Amino acid sequence: MIETFQSATEQVLNPYAAEWVQEGKKVVGYTCNFVPGEILHAANILPYRLRGHGTESLDIADAYYGPFVCSFPKCLLQLIGEGKYKFLDGAIITTSCDSVRRLNDNWRSVAKDIPDILPAFFHYLGAPYKVVPHSVEWYIKELKMLIEHLESHFGVSITEEKLKKSIEAYNVSRQLLTELDEFRIAEEVILSGADMYTVVLAGTVMPRDMYNDHLERLLAKVKEKRPPVMSGRKRIMVAGSICDDAELISLIEDAGAVVVAEGLCFGIRGLADRVRLDGDPLVALAERYMEENTCPRFIMSYDKRVTFLHDKAERARAQGVVFQNVRFCEFHGSENSLLESGFEEVGIPAVRLEREFGPLNETGRVRLRVDALLNRISEKSTTAE
């Protein structure tokens, strides 16, 4: 049912992006969901969110990044150094966090030592760390600079009209994903957490129109009263640091749970709300991408994130929560402890675990913690009975 989406996420250069490249069209990679894909889409450029999937070593990355740094940007740098991202025509590095923003520096540093790995279009996009009127204004200016750079480099024109059409296309995805999510959170789950996550991930690396077509087809199939999957399993929500493949979700589901909701930045947390179509499209994009972002880097918006996660858990009837953070990711690491306490206070068992990004090389330890959480949920159910 989700083979197309799986094939889009299994390798760095997936078949759909490869086809796009073969047609002579442009691809621009980006690091974070602060980059409105609509802007690139409006220029007929494939927005390609950079993933560290498939990293087998960090020997290149370690020569540039220090030891006390999150392994996500390190994995990206490793793949960049190995030439896996040579198919990109451009890259946009965002000021997501200190480690990710330094990818801008390190990518250029690696390129001094390894030729032909720096795309001709290279842009540093500043995103404010808070959402207030003057910071949104600032972000609009940054987006304008990005547009000007794209236009001058690629010889394209990103008009208001084109932007509005792209917003419509992205809003279709958001609508379809929201509908699809109903089947993940249903009493009788029709779409497993791992499958749903794969579908969402694919949207970050597939051409938009093709993605929407496949989403529509998937939704139609799911609506054909498919049999429930994973019946009777404990319902878990996963939140925290970046996670760009479905392996962690699968690991949790392999332990006997079903992941009915997630608050992950590659996931659906940023997709629920549409971009408004009235007024200046750039303003609409800036507001949507800033205000609907639930990353803890927005350090003055903690209460908003608490509400977001509690609402999400309630809607999905989650019985427990896994809060995970990539080692050296302080934003999620410290906030996870506060969130964990908050969920425990309202009677929802939660576990906080730290892991390395990338291939699950600590499966046993993570599984042990998940098993413990599931046991607690069982004990809680038994006590309640």
Would you tell me which residues interact with other proteins (CB under 8 A)?
63-70, 73, 95, 97-99, 101-102, 104-106, 108-109, 124, 126, 128-130, 132, 134-135, 138, 141, 296-297, 299-300, 302, 325, 327-328, 330-331, 333-335, 337-338, 340-341, 354
Give a three-class secondary structure readout of 302-337.
Answer: HHHHHHHHHHHHHHCCCCEEEEEEECCCHHHHHHHH
Closer by beta carbon to other proteins, 204 or else 325:
325
| C-alpha closest to that of 163 among 29, 273, 285 | 285
Spatial distance between the Cα atoms of 241 and 243, rounded to a whole number of angstroms: 6
CB of 94 to other proteins, least distance (A): 10
Closer by beta carbon to other proteins, 110 or else 255:
110
Closer by beta carbon to other proteins, 235 or else 297:
297
Closer by beta carbon to other proteins, 106 or else 166:
106
Closer by beta carbon to other proteins, 77 or else 190:
77
| Phi, psi of 227, deg, nearest 5 | -70, 150
Query: CB neighbours (10 Å) of residue 307?
Result: 11
Closer by beta carbon to other proteins, 125 or else 200:
125
CB of 236 to other proteins, least distance (A): 21
What would the two tokens of residue 242 be? 């970046």
Which residues are registered as beta bridge partners of 94? 125
DSSP characters for 12-68?
A: SS-HHHHHHHHTT-EEEEESSTTS-HHHHHHTTEEEEE---TT----TTGGGTS-SS
Closer by beta carbon to other proteins, 20 or else 328:
328
CB of 78 to other proteins, least distance (A): 14
CB of 66 to other proteins, least distance (A): 3
Sheet holding 45-49, edge to edge: 45-49, 26-30, 90-94, 121-125
Spatial distance between the Cα atoms of 366 and 72, rounded to a whole number of angstroms: 18
Helix, strand, coil % in the chain, rounded to nearest 5: 50, 10, 35
